[in-house]
A and B are shown apart, each in its own frame.
Chain A
Amino acid sequence: MDYQPAILAKDLTKRFGDFTAVDHINFNVQHGEIFGFLGPNGSGKTTTIRMLLGLMKPGEGSVEVLGLKVEKDTSKIRPRVGYMSQRFSLYNDLTVLQNLNFYGQAYGLENSLLQKRIAEALHMAGLERHENTQTRDLSGGWRQRLALGAAILHRPEVLFLDEPTAGVDPLSRRAFWDLLYKLVSTPLQPETNQASLESEMREQRGVTVFITTHYMDEAEHSHRLAFIQHGKIIASGSPIEIKTQKMPGDVLEISPSDAAGAVKVLRSAQNDGKLPLNEIVLYGSLVHVIAPDILRHEQAITVILQNSGIQPGVMTVIEPSLEDVFIACMKS
């Protein structure tokens, strides 16, 4: 076979007693792709990551990373992947430089190479003048970039990021994503001179990223993503495909004269069975209503609002947010 995805999960399953945490899931991640893995707490996300990393044995099915069987070849895979957890796994009582040295040595990097890589990591994270700062004194955004710097010191080909941006503010999150895009679009430099076909091919592509997140606006940055619920993948595809194909209904945005009043009136119509809407959500001065074939209800909505003395204002069908789709998929 001349083609292999960076990550391949086949019928991956894990049971704990009677409870099936991960239930025959299948997916693949292409080289140089950012793959988002989303799901509520307890959906099987963390269990899946643990199996991908070889920290937990699958009950059934298999995982391949970089064409190698995770169960069999853990020791071959380990040096070629990087992992950054939610907690950033940094030592708070060490300085920035000490943390990087610690990780570099743990990965077995030889000293002159390590010093070069550390300088690059500091530059990338924008921490050049803070080498001697205690890690605990860094802001969330900087700690996060330091953790990413530490996770890529050994130039992994696949990077696993488990909720890397929890508790990080929007500006730092954007800076973090700019970094990730740079990583995936910068071709990997092979360390050795073995000019095998495989390493030549690898040269063309950047790092592969597998990322979990709770932030839906962030998930939109992924090239492809998968939603997992109760251990099963309920939707997958590129964000644009998911938003245009997986939404069981349309979103109508209404800008009424009294948004709070409109929500009350529409809800009572919904409860009386006069309006078959799936969801009525207040967005500040706007109202979003969701239902299949929503334009059929436009007239009814207008009349119901007007009868309560509310001007319906402009109504437009808008694109659902990824969160809208996610919630709708989980309900159906």
Chain B
Amino acid sequence: MNEKIVEIEGLTRIFKKTRAVDGLHLIIETGELFGLVGPDGAGKTTTLRLLAGLLNISEGTAALMGFDLNNQPDSIKPYVGYMAQQFSLYGELSALENLLFFAELFDVSSKDLEERTERLLEFAGLLPFKNRRAAHLSGGMQKKLALACTLIHEPEILLLDEPTTGVDPVSRREFWNILTELHLRGTTIIVSTPYMDEADRCSRVGLMYAGKLIECDTPHNIRKKIDSEIIEVWPVNWQKALDKVMELENIKEVQTYGETLHILVDSGERQLPEIKRSLKKAGIEVRSIRVAPVHMEQAFISLIRRIDA
């Protein structure tokens, strides 16, 4: 454990004039579940493709398991499993046949094959559907099958590009339970996601913006980085309250969440009594008011706005 399995220095990819990935420095240790988050066009997909050896590096270096991608791109293939956003399953082949196809692609020896495909199908919860055509599986099941195909050669590093986009909450949780299982077994996973609650399930999160890694830490510490807290107000009438809250002093931002308002402030405990008083004075009736935990989404948006400012 704790050896550097991915070492990235100054990694850059230029498309025409755009620096899609711009001077990335990152070290990932064996067994990490690393989340790559950021808005569209931040460079997440390009980073994953570079690491999978599918794109040439413009500048800098990246090494996986000690193999330099610039010099030995083919040496990493047996150790890496890459699942693209638009992964390709063969719709007219059954779940099992898809697995067999990928096994052949990755030279999995035929003596292990039967045992391994059974195990993967079971792991992905697809055993009852092994003879069903991929095209007839639900979206969530297709994602799980694609993951199983990515695992067929037992890679040590998994690169997953937005694997749960468009998947319903139940399938999404199942998918993450599978990832947790792999993580507990020691597989190194790098996963990109637009879902901020998924970032919370990673051991470390890298926040990408405009090709650069602007933050990299545990989800817990990233929340602390915004130096702000949330005061949650549940007023009787949210629209009236919103107008008043906007006029308050010393507040950074107000967000509406249904009938509640989230007020971003420097210090929850210190400012709660002030805000309570001001609302009372303005005749705003409040059902409840409290200091609430900062959501990952809020942290993410605040950090990006700080960079933009």
* A contact set with B: CB distance below 8 Å: 34, 38-42, 139-141, 166-172, 174, 177, 181, 185, 214-217, 220-224, 238-240, 255, 259-260, 263-264, 281-286, 318-319, 321, 323, 326-327, 330
Contact yes or no, A40 B259, CB < 8 A: no
B184 interfacial by beta-carbon distance below 8 Å: yes
A218–B119 Cα distance when bound, in Å, is 36
A84–B171 Cα distance when bound, in Å, is 25
A-B contact pairs, 20 of them (CB 8 A): A139-B41, A170-B39, A170-B194, A170-B297, A172-B39, A185-B239, A216-B169, A217-B295, A224-B258, A239-B257, A239-B258, A239-B260, A240-B259, A282-B201, A283-B219, A284-B204, A284-B219, A285-B220, A323-B173, A327-B169
Contact yes or no, B257 A220, CB < 8 A: yes
Name the contact of A283 in the complex, choosing from B40, B200, B242 (C-beta under 8 A): B200
CB contacts (< 8 Å) of A185 on chain B: these are: 239, 242
With known contacts A170-B196, A260-B184, A223–B167 Cβ distance under 8 A? no
CB contacts (< 8 Å) of B173 on chain A: these are: 323, 327
Contact yes or no, A326 B169, CB < 8 A: yes
CB contacts (< 8 Å) of A40 on chain B: these are: 168-171
Contact yes or no, A140 B40, CB < 8 A: yes
Contact yes or no, A263 B184, CB < 8 A: yes
B269 interfacial by beta-carbon distance below 8 Å: no
Chain A interface SS verdict (over half): mixed
CB contacts (< 8 Å) of B239 on chain A: these are: 185
A264–B297 Cα distance when bound, in Å, is 29
Of chain B, the residue at the smallest CB distance from A218 is B297
CB contacts (< 8 Å) of A139 on chain B: these are: 40-41
B197 interfacial by beta-carbon distance below 8 Å: yes
CB contacts (< 8 Å) of B30 on chain A: these are: none
B139 interfacial by beta-carbon distance below 8 Å: yes
Distance (whole angstroms) from the CB of B96 to the closest CB of chain A = 23
Of chain A, the residue at the smallest CB distance from B197 is A217
Please give 12 more A-B residue pairs, beta carbons under 8 A apart, in addition to A220-B258, A318-B293.
A39-B168, A167-B166, A167-B194, A168-B194, A217-B295, A220-B257, A238-B259, A260-B183, A281-B180, A284-B200, A284-B205, A327-B169
A224–B293 Cα distance when bound, in Å, is 21
Contact yes or no, B180 A263, CB < 8 A: yes
Of chain A, the residue at the smallest CB distance from B166 is A166
Q: How many residue pairs at the A-B interface have CB separations less than 8 Å?
A: 120
Contact yes or no, A284 B202, CB < 8 A: yes
A143–B293 Cα distance when bound, in Å, is 32
| Cβ proximity bits B166-208 to A, threshold 8 Å, 1 near / 0 not | 1111111100010010011000000000111100111111000
CB contacts (< 8 Å) of A217 on chain B: these are: 195-197, 295, 297
CB contacts (< 8 Å) of B301 on chain A: these are: 170-171, 174
Contact yes or no, A286 B169, CB < 8 A: no
Interface size of B in residues (CB-CB distance below 8 Å): 49
Distance (whole angstroms) from the CB of A35 to the closest CB of chain B = 10
B43 interfacial by beta-carbon distance below 8 Å: no
B58 interfacial by beta-carbon distance below 8 Å: no
B304 interfacial by beta-carbon distance below 8 Å: yes
Name the contact of B138 in the complex, choosing from A41, A174, A281, A283 (C-beta under 8 A): A41
Contact yes or no, B257 A221, CB < 8 A: yes
Of chain A, the residue at the smallest CB distance from B165 is A167
With known contacts A284-B200, A284-B202, A172–B40 Cβ distance under 8 A? yes
A223–B259 Cα distance when bound, in Å, is 6
Contact yes or no, A284 B201, CB < 8 A: yes
A172–B33 Cα distance when bound, in Å, is 26
A216–B234 Cα distance when bound, in Å, is 19
A210–B151 Cα distance when bound, in Å, is 40
A221–B258 Cα distance when bound, in Å, is 4
A35–B267 Cα distance when bound, in Å, is 32
CB contacts (< 8 Å) of A286 on chain B: these are: 220
B61 interfacial by beta-carbon distance below 8 Å: no
CB contacts (< 8 Å) of B204 on chain A: these are: 284
A307–B168 Cα distance when bound, in Å, is 39
Contact yes or no, A141 B293, CB < 8 A: no
| Cβ proximity bits B288-309 to A, threshold 8 Å, 1 near / 0 not | 0000010101001100100000
With known contacts A282-B201, A285-B203, A318-B293, A214–B220 Cβ distance under 8 A? no
CB contacts (< 8 Å) of B218 on chain A: these are: 284-285
CB contacts (< 8 Å) of B211 on chain A: these are: none
B256 interfacial by beta-carbon distance below 8 Å: yes
A64–B104 Cα distance when bound, in Å, is 57
A109–B144 Cα distance when bound, in Å, is 47
Distance (whole angstroms) from the CB of A270 to the closest CB of chain B = 14
A282–B183 Cα distance when bound, in Å, is 10
B53 interfacial by beta-carbon distance below 8 Å: no
CB contacts (< 8 Å) of A319 on chain B: these are: 293
Distance (whole angstroms) from the CB of A186 to the closest CB of chain B = 10
Distance (whole angstroms) from the CB of A250 to the closest CB of chain B = 15
